[in-house]
Structure 1
Amino acid sequence: MGFPWYSTPWNTHLSTTNTNLDILVVVFYFLLVLGIGLWAILSSSRGTVEDFFLAGRNLAWWQIGAFLFASNIGTGHFMGLAGKGASSGIAVGAFEWNAPFILCILGWVFSPIYIKAGVVTTPRYLRKRFGGCRIQFLLAILYLFLYIVSKIAVEICTGAMFMKLVLGLDVYLATVVLLTVTGIYAITGGFAAVVYTDILHASVMVLGSVLLTACITPNKSKTSKNHCALLRTMMHIASTCLFEGRRIPPATESVHGC
């Protein structure tokens, strides 16, 4: 599914709908995130490696849960999966529905092994398991490369697209702003700063999702039968052709009610 002639990934100025309120909300949120990150820097200890990378092991379960939830969701989801869901249906959620099962395996199977071994990263565990620094070094380099190419680059790209769409910023300037705000609290504050800011992200996303769902839920008395049939088709996990960007046509039988 391509972009219309007036809107390309790096040319969105003709399709912007931002107002002064939109800009104010985005700027306020950036400042709020930066403020929470700075507060975490000043209030948490970073004197040891454990303090910096594990927040001193003083985090509650719900804080870790909010961190896992928010860290898994980025601008790529809002700019990519949201658009695909709007055009194809809810079947795009199948990618994310696998995550809870993988997290359960991580928490109940692998985490006890890492905790017992006294390690916090997979490369270090493999070094301790098989001996030698070579496997740890090679795996760390591989993880960094894959994460930068498949995750960080996508998040920076889609984040810059969003800021260009809302604020009208140049993509390079938007990239610098994103990296600066994130780097200030993540690099200097360590894991504790990341967790506290992710708690804010998770709260905003959950509240926003609930409000958005309530706003876009069609009114039964004002929804046509054709629209209702389309919604019923798009809300089925098996009704979407994900990889070709096409949706299987809805059933031809009449729809009674909605």
Structure 2
Amino acid sequence: MQLDRLDWTVVALYGVIALTVGLWFTRRAGSGVQEFFLSGRKLPWWLLGTSMVATTFSTDTPNLVTDLVRSGGVSQNWLWWAFLITGMLTVFVYAKLWRRSGVMTDIEFYELRYSGKPAAFLRGFRALYLGVFFNVMIMATVTLAAIKIGNVLLGADKITTVVLAGGVTVIYSATAGLWGVVVTDLLLFAIAMVGSIAAAYYALNLPEVGGLSGMVQHPALEGKLGLLPDFSDGTTVLAVLIVPIAVQWWSTWYPGAEPGGGGYVAQRMLAARNERDSLLGTLWFNIAHYALRPWPWVIVAL
């Protein structure tokens, strides 16, 4: 893909703005441990909720959703829509409780809930498992996606992509703490939504598509627009709908949709100004995550 000077200017400006916004909060984050890890427990609901939804997708997420839709139709999204059950439980049952606990991290909660050496062992084991093993795998997959996209769109080699993208992220995360992360998340989520909506608008207005009505009536999409799978196909219904709703939502550790909340979702609930902001922020996260963000991707896929 050939980029001209304006394209490269936009790319560079994006990186500079993200880095500047993050570094703006360096002094505030450095004023204390609470400020660094919890933003002083001053986050409003709209900021913490937007940060949650921005954190739950990366360079590979739109590709995953579009692949699901192109291969099996809109109903394939039940593979992850089923996690809305845990999301609603977190909103109306656990969001206030997380904020009320007063802990600094979700890992710290284990020694509040349990006691003695077993609690300390559980805390240490979970910290190592999630922090070293699980998150390394997550970062590896999203970095691989970034490398592929960077190569196709920018012609960048893998070292350049990792150093630039990773370097900017590490700098503002390590220096500005949670303040830098959540404010940068707000910026990046806005950019991502504008870009995805623009892509959907462009796709719908192609002559071959003929707008939204033309897309819906296109014969190639027959059987792919339903929100529910074809119930005459028992195997698909079992894999796409029944198993996710009956088993997967509570048995699978899915980042951003852990039963009861956890990880970066819990960290933002703990940083809320009060219990009400914790609840409203988590509610906004689930609305944006399931009802707002994926639909431009679905349109592009169709």
The reply to whether residue 233 of structure 1 matches residue 218 of structure 2 is no
The change in CA–CA distance for 1:193 and 1:229 in structure 2 (over 3 A counts) is same
Which residue pairs with 2:192 in the alignment?
Answer: 205
1:233 counterpart SS class: coil
Q: What amino acid is aligned across from residue 138 of structure 1 in structure 2?
A: F
1:73 counterpart SS class: coil
CA distance in 2, matches of 1:103, 1:71: 15
CA distance in 2, matches of 1:221, 1:102: 32
Unaligned runs of 5+ in 1: 1-16, 245-258
1:87 Cα offset (Å): 4.5
Which residue pairs with 2:39 in the alignment?
Answer: 55
Q: Please, which moves more after superposition, 136-145 or 210-219?
A: 210-219
The answer to whether the 8 Å contact 1:37/1:185 transfers is yes
The change in CA–CA distance for 1:31 and 1:109 in structure 2 (over 3 A counts) is same
Deviations 1:238-257 (A, max 9, x none): 26979x9xxxxxxxxxxxxx
The answer to whether the 8 Å contact 1:114/1:120 transfers is no
| Matched residue count | 224
Deviations 1:159-207 (A, max 9, x none): 1111111221111221121210100101111001000011011212222
The reply to whether residue 89 of structure 1 matches residue 79 of structure 2 is no
The reply to whether residue 219 of structure 1 matches residue 226 of structure 2 is no
Q: What amino acid is aligned across from residue 113 of structure 2 in structure 1?
A: R
Q: What is the TM-score normalised by the length of structure 2?
A: 0.65
Unaligned runs of 5+ in 2: 240-302
Q: Please, which moves more after superposition, 215-224 or 120-129?
A: 215-224
Which residue pairs with 1:140 in the alignment?
Answer: 127
1:126 Cα offset (Å): 1.3
CA distance in 2, matches of 1:89, 1:128: 45
Alignment of 1:159-170 (within 5 A): 159-170=146-157
Counting aligned pairs with the same residue, the percent is: 22
The change in CA–CA distance for 1:73 and 1:222 in structure 2 (over 3 A counts) is closer
CA distance in 2, matches of 1:102, 1:25: 38
Q: What is the TM-score normalised by the length of structure 1?
A: 0.75
Determine which structure has greater relative contact order: mean sequence separation of CA pairs < 8 Å that are 6+ residues apart, divided by chain length: 2
CA RMSD of the aligned region, Å?
2.9
